[in-house]
Amino acid sequence: MKTISPRMSRVGFTLIELLLVIGIIAILASIVIVAINPTKQLGDARDAQRRSDVNTVLNAVYQYAIDNNGTLPSCIDTTDRNICLTNSCAGVTNGCNLSVLTGTYLVSLPVDPSGATGNDTMYNIQLTASNRVTVSADQYEQADALISVTR
């Protein structure tokens, strides 16, 4: 009868084989992470939210004007103003109180998705020389230009 040596009876992988497989997996994982680029994806998502918020505020302002015989909220003028969250606009330079829009036209004033703190929504509103309203975002990440809508 033929005997099997202890060396031949072992099954499994050698250390070199395991290290080689781990190295290949690491290389493939790094390629996938670079291709997906989560930082860019998250920045694009926040910019999309900013575009949506700017349109939402502008639509609410014009709906308010329609319901009030063309009169805009009183703080909207030719000065570029920061939209604030509370009636007092405390702590906001050149604040514009658009609380008249909440309840009827907006559930609440949108806030920049980067995590605006305090009383500033980080969105601006201004009446142009041609009597058109512009709403813009203070911050943007992936966009090539300022996020702004004028109507």
Tallying the residues shown for the chain, one arrives at 151
Q: What's the Cα-to-Cα distance from 55 to each of 26, 37, 81, 125, 136, rounded to whole Å?
A: 43, 28, 17, 12, 9
pTM equals: 0.79
Q: Domain segments of the chain: what residues? A: 44-150
Distance CA 120, CA 56 (A): 17
Distance CA 146, CA 91 (A): 24
Q: Give 92-128 pLDDT, tens digit per residue.
A: 889 999 999 999 999 999 999 987 778 889 999 999 9
Distance CA 62, CA 150 (A): 11
List all residues 6 or more positions away from 46 whose beta carbon is below 8 Å from its beta carbon: 113, 114, 141
Q: Give 25-65 pLDDT, tens digit per residue.
A: 999 999 998 888 988 889 999 999 999 999 999 999 999 99
